[in-house]
Chains A and B, each alone.
Chain A
């Protein structure tokens, strides 16, 4: 497995704490959605750096109250055809204002990396057999985008008519 850093904020080693096992102390710990729901209030009282593992069906509304306490959210792609994680990522960024690291894991094709970057992911966990160089090359294929997304890029329709108001510095 390779961790591919897209935005420069990927934060290194995290320890997974499976449901039911004790939480390791003073570490960067990833817990499940279920565990966050059950123990989130107590965990907030500790000095832990908390990471959350999200499945595609998990409801983001339930996570909202913990958003500022999370430093990593891992969104799982169980199969590459399951695109729910793209919407989860954009909603976390644009609706819930999540500022921490957003990481994609699971079944990821090289040609999907660009879409993930645009939806607000900072890092990708590449499975064995996925070549990081191919992914890096795929990230560079396109010079322009047509639609706004979580990356805030200036879109083609905006470029055609000068700097849009949303990007003007007052």
Chain B
């Protein structure tokens, strides 16, 4: 993991003091709320429906056990004893008091964390594959590059007042677990035929009210030019992105209106001018960062593990959990564990202080003190010995963390919705809970197989409904909450946008409709075919027929 040196530390501490001063000026009334707003937004502090919300950055979703313990401590001391892990690998606290926020930031700084650029029209916290560095299908580790981007983008003097927020995601793997085609910039490390590694650069993807799958604007970018290329993209966007309409201000609209070719031409022209300047990757600095992401000292094993095999054979509940929540690791005898934050009936992405501490302890004992946050709002133990899995599973079970549903229908992404958010039209969390209750049957869920449900409480799409295999969008119609059903989306390497099926449903109606869609799939699937592939093979029609025909009442 990356560790701060004295420069990183100083900068974060100076940021804390700057914000402490700003909060003091607000509390005495020297700053009005209107004047304070842009300042607090640069520190991830939102004013929500009921209270302030503080969003803390977890750069590229990586946490140490100490950092996780600090997050638990903060939730207990300054909040209501829980935190919410988000789709951008961050954590949110929903109930902090304004006067406590500088102290919270000071406590975060003690463990090399901050809330810089977790909101505002700036380059946001960079995200990556939550299996980075341990995935079997990885060409190169994206984390050193993510850290370079974190540093370059922090308090960037030119790009702190962009037309709109700006999100960058990276992956180094074949399978896209970071949704890079749905970001303002997506970067994928690939090996070219001649053996050289470079980035495929995607720009202009995004969700929100105008969802777009980003086009590739460069097939191969030498890694040493990463930052100058990003600077060229941002400079074109900062000058020409629309500022007349907030809803058309993201880079996807610029790319779309200029056309990919013209946008790319402008970026390449700017890049040609700056490409060999001071942003060229300094070799020594890259090596310094890369060394901090070296693999931990795994115990050498031949990969066979009789203890693990015995537990697997003797305990079907454990076997079911391993089947869904344990993933292949590049080191023999090791595995990656997904800790589900989607217990049936719970709030997707929420963890109590105690749960955070348990995860921190387990990581310390069994995963070299390292934890990841996935964009699907789960936690990951990236370096686990197979022989430790059974003990880990038992511990997780006792604390409500052992749900065996990774990638299944109840592994739902949901935005905070009308329970917290001032933008929402409808509630998301209770709907997620009711769906989980309706499908609360492990065998049935495993039979249904891979199926991603994503729920947004409004058109801004924080719950990623556009890329749900089943997407649900909450709308408001004549004072009633209504839910629209969408099918066929994917945020992965086979990215596609979900299509709306037809008229919307009440809360109970949408759950019935999901059940009908699932039953239609189960009846129509071919051997080994998951929901998305069945949908793609058959198209929307049979699903629409099943949902809307024969239906007499909502």
Contacts and interface: CB of A to CB of B under 8 A. Distances in A.
Interface in B196-238: 235, 238
A86 B157 contact: yes
Contact of A86 (B238, B243, B282): B238
Interface string A57-101: 000000000000000000000001111101110110011000000
Interface in A109-124: 109, 111-112, 114-116, 118-119
A79 B22 CA distance: 20
Interface stretch (A7-15, A18-26, A150-158): A150-158
A83 B159 contact: yes
A164 B285 CA distance: 12
Contact of A161 (B18, B38, B285): B285
B7 to A, nearest CB: 4
Interface stretch (A34-42, A44-52, A139-147): A139-147
A78 to B, nearest CB: 10
B155 A146 contact: yes
Nearest to B288: A160
Contacts, number: 108
Given A83-B162, A90-B158, A143-B14, A157 B238 contact: no
Contact of A144 (B7, B18, B121, B235): B7
Given A144-B11, A157-B151, A159-B7, A114 B285 contact: no
A156 B7 CA distance: 7
A91 B239 CA distance: 11
Contacts of B154: 146-147
B39 A157 contact: no
B479 interface: no
A91 B282 CA distance: 23
Nearest to B158: A86
B432 to A, nearest CB: 35
Contacts of A159: 7
Contact of B11 (A84, A142, A149, A157): A142
A87 B161 CA distance: 10
A116 B158 CA distance: 8
Contacts of B277: 148
A168 interface: no
Contacts of A166: 278
Contacts of A138: 18
Nearest to A59: B239
B156 A147 contact: yes
Contacts of A118: 157-158
A88 B239 CA distance: 8
B158 A115 contact: yes
B235 A87 contact: yes
Contacts of A94: 274
A95 B121 CA distance: 25
Interface residues on A, range: 35 or more
Given A90-B158, A147-B152, A160-B5, A84 B238 contact: yes
Given A143-B14, A155-B278, A82 B7 contact: no
B160 interface: yes
Interface residues of B, number: 39
A47 to B, nearest CB: 34
A143 B18 CA distance: 12
Contact of A156 (B14, B39, B151, B243): B151
Interface string B237-274: 01100010000000000000000000000000000011
Nearest to A81: B161
A166 B280 CA distance: 12
B279 interface: yes
Given A83-B161, A147-B152, A158 B239 contact: no
Contacts of A158: 278, 282
A159 B235 CA distance: 25
A145 B14 CA distance: 12
B284 interface: yes
Interface string B1-33: 000010110110010011000100000000000
Nearest to B240: A84
A118 B160 CA distance: 12
B161 A86 contact: yes
Contact of B151 (A87, A88, A146): A146
B282 A80 contact: no
Contacts of A160: 5, 7, 284-285, 288
Given A155-B278, A157-B282, A81 B10 contact: no
Contacts of B239: 84, 87-88
A91 B238 CA distance: 12
A129 to B, nearest CB: 10
Contact of B160 (A83, A141, A145, A146): A83
Nearest to A57: B239
Given A143-B14, A148-B277, A160-B7, A119 B285 contact: no
Nearest to B281: A157
Contacts of B14: 141-143
Interface string B330-369: 0000000000000000000000000000000000000000
A143 B10 contact: yes
A75 to B, nearest CB: 13
A145 to B, nearest CB: 8
Contacts of B153: 147
A112 B39 CA distance: 10
A123 to B, nearest CB: 16
Given A115-B157, A118-B157, A161-B284, A95 B273 contact: yes
Given A114-B157, A149-B157, A80 B38 contact: yes
15 contacts: A81-B38, A83-B121, A84-B243, A86-B160, A90-B235, A115-B157, A141-B14, A141-B17, A144-B10, A144-B11, A147-B157, A156-B8, A158-B278, A160-B288, A166-B278
Given A86-B161, A144-B11, A147-B154, 6 more contacts: A81-B38, A83-B159, A88-B239, A146-B152, A155-B278, A157-B285
Interface of A: 80-84, 86-88, 90-91, 94-95, 109, 111-112, 114-116, 118-119, 138, 141-149, 155-161, 164, 166
Interface of B: 5, 7-8, 10-11, 14, 17-18, 22, 35, 38-39, 121, 151-163, 235, 238-239, 243, 273-274, 277-279, 282, 284-285, 288
Identify the 4 closest CB pairs spanning chains A and B, nearest first. A83-B161, A118-B157, A148-B278, A115-B157
